Structure 1
Amino acid sequence: MTMPSANPNRALWEKGDFTRIADTMRESGEAFVETLDIRPGLAMLDLGCGDGTTALPAARRGAEVLGVDIAANLVAAGTARARAANLPNLRFQQGDACDLENIEDARFELLVSLFGAMFAPRPQDAAREMVRVVRSGGRIVMGNWIPGDPTMVAQILKISAAYTPPPPEGFISPITWGQEEHVISRFTAAGIPQADIGFERATWLFRNPGPPADLLDIFRNYYGPTMNAYAAAANEGREAALHAELLELFEAQNRGTNGNTEIAATFLKVSVAKA
């Protein structure tokens, strides 16, 4: 399935190489999957899967996993990782969280989306599609960055936004998915009772050998939002200011030892039960 080239999310996530970011958070992906009660044969959709940070560990535990992502390069990378890991129960395909065409109703027992579906440009459509493809008795589990949170990723997005042009009219910020009232509104509109929507705060770790500046370089060169911010800042002669602000953030939040970097980011874990 080919996504329209005009899709802004596709352009954003194909712009960099998110696999380089994903390499810094594999352990967090493993830890998150441990919380999901995966059993052999479980039908699972990983939506906005990237190259498989959560899809691979779920498949290793025996789930039948489909990974869907808007970016063709990440689908290819995930397919290569699944092949190298000899996981025939894991498949990747390109797709749009706002319109999961070619995926039938009630196909999955578990849908997971870690920092993926939150970036879909039409959040109400994404919520409706997530509910549609999950069967009765199934679950949706999302991880979403929280607006205004003082930890790393929310601050990266906040700082980057200050250096980029204003979004187009009608744009809905992805991090509204980190606000409980928006999550409730979207899922209740898709038919989920509010009592079946739960929330908790959780921690995601980014780890990289070397100093925080090295991790920042990975974000600068391979993460779409920061790539866009650096390009816009350079056009205005503000690149050095942006870099200094981000470097201060990375250094202040580093809790690594022995010259390595480990930075925690808080996210909102959303759990939805479909009756």
Structure 2
Amino acid sequence: MTDPTEFVDADRALKAAHRTMWGLGNYPAVAAEVVRELGPTLVRACGVEAGQRVLDVAAGSGNAALPAAVAGATVIASDLTPELFARGRELAAAQQVDLEWIQGDAEALPFADNEFDIVMSCVGVMFAPHHQQSADELVRVCRDGGTIGLINWTPDGFIGKMFSAMKPYAAPPPPGAQPPPLWGDEAHVRGQFGVRVRELTAEVKTLTVDTFARPEDFVHYFKKNYGPTIAVYRRIADDHAAVAALDSSLIELAGQFYEGKAMKWEYLIVTAKVRR
């Protein structure tokens, strides 16, 4: 029989690795320069209004938390990687809005039951490894009748395909960990929430990314700025053939998602009402 403490130790090690990974590079730059419009899109979908209490889970540097605060809500931005908060605080000061930044694990949120009117996550909670635990926590901290809102990359969209391309070069996931793009599958999301939500709506949309003139520019940028990509390349840094193969694979993949001068990245946007 496996000692339960082994599972606890393994989970702690996994979370520490995730925190380190998202602290690599410059995710705040990715949020501001590549996926900036997703945060406001999610805030609009959730119907954020002045006076509401809003929690942004896996908030990073505040891509969704900041526009929620601009809308007049009382906002807490929570993330496993508090190193990302520094840039968020700078942006909040520049926009003259106040919000609270609290370190927290999406699978064990440090908040009370029924505490928030809106609980949202913009391409964030999908990266927590145990999906059911994360879904349970989203429901737990949202009040009865409150809104859960999510934007997640889809399995068949560009980012989902990128993770598939990197998988052979990445460290094997620990037992029980689930792939992030599953959160971009409507059936999977419905299964995680079950009867605890009502009025669940899910729509596949496309983000137009015109940041990169060529596929090679995308690969260079993500190797420099995006934590998961950096972590994979660090793992194979001494294997020059593997590095070249992954470069080639990502360049080819990126090229498949160009329409004219811009890339098209697919995501799923979900909103639902909590039902106690």
TM-score by length of 2: 0.86
State the 1:66 CA deviation: 0.9
TM-superposition CA deviations, 1:12-41 (whole Å, max 9, x none): 211232112112221333334333322211
Aligned to 1:87: 97
Contact 1:197/1:272, CA 8 A, preserved across alignment:
yes
| CA apart distance, 1:95 | 0.7
Amino acid at match of 2:172: P
Distance 2:154 2:234 in 1: 25
Q: Is 1:51 the equivalent of 2:61?
A: yes
Does residue 1:197 correspond to 2:200, yes or no? yes
Please list every run of 5 or more consecutive structure 1 residues that lacks an aligned counterpart in the other structure.
none
Q: Name the counterpart of 2:218.
A: 215
Match of 1:73 in 2: 83
Equivalence for 2:141? 133
4+ residue runs over 6 A deviation: none
**CA distance 1:222–1:192, shift in 2 (3 Å):** same
Name the residue aligned to 2:115: 107
Conserved in 2, the CA contact under 8 Å of 1:75 and 1:94? no
- Rounded Cα–Cα distance in structure 2 between residues aligned with 1:32 and 1:125: 22
CA contact (8 A) 1:233 1:242 kept: no
What secondary structure, in the 3-state scheme, does the structure 2 residue paired with 1:118 have?
helix
The one-letter code sitting in structure 2 at the alignment partner of 1:19 is: P
Aligned residues with identical type, % of pairs: 33
Letter in 2 for 1:31: T
Q: What's the counterpart of residue 273 of structure 2? A: 273
1:224 aligns with 2:227: yes
Cα deviation, 1:175-201, whole Å, max 9, x if unaligned, reads: 22223333222212xx515x5433221
How many angstroms apart in 2 are the aligned matches of 1:167 and 1:5? 12
Displacement of 1:231 = 2.4
Looking at structure 2, the residues matched to 86 and 256 of structure 1 have their Cα atoms a distance apart, in angstroms, of: 38
TM-score normalised by L of structure 1: 0.86
Looking at structure 2, the residues matched to 41 and 272 of structure 1 have their Cα atoms a distance apart, in angstroms, of 20
Q: CA RMSD in A?
A: 2.2
* Runs (5+) with no aligned partner, structure 2: 1-11
Q: How many residues align?
A: 262
Separation in 2 of the partners of 1:212 and 1:104?
Answer: 45
1:6/1:245 CA distance change after superposition, 3 Å? closer
Instruction: Give the whole-Å Cα distance in 2 for the aligned partners of 1:155 and 1:124.
Output: 23
2:266 is the alignment partner of 1:263: no
Give the conservation status (yes or no) of the 8 Å contact 1:13–1:224: yes
Matched to 1:78, the amino acid is: G
Q: Post-superposition shift, 1:6?
A: 5.5
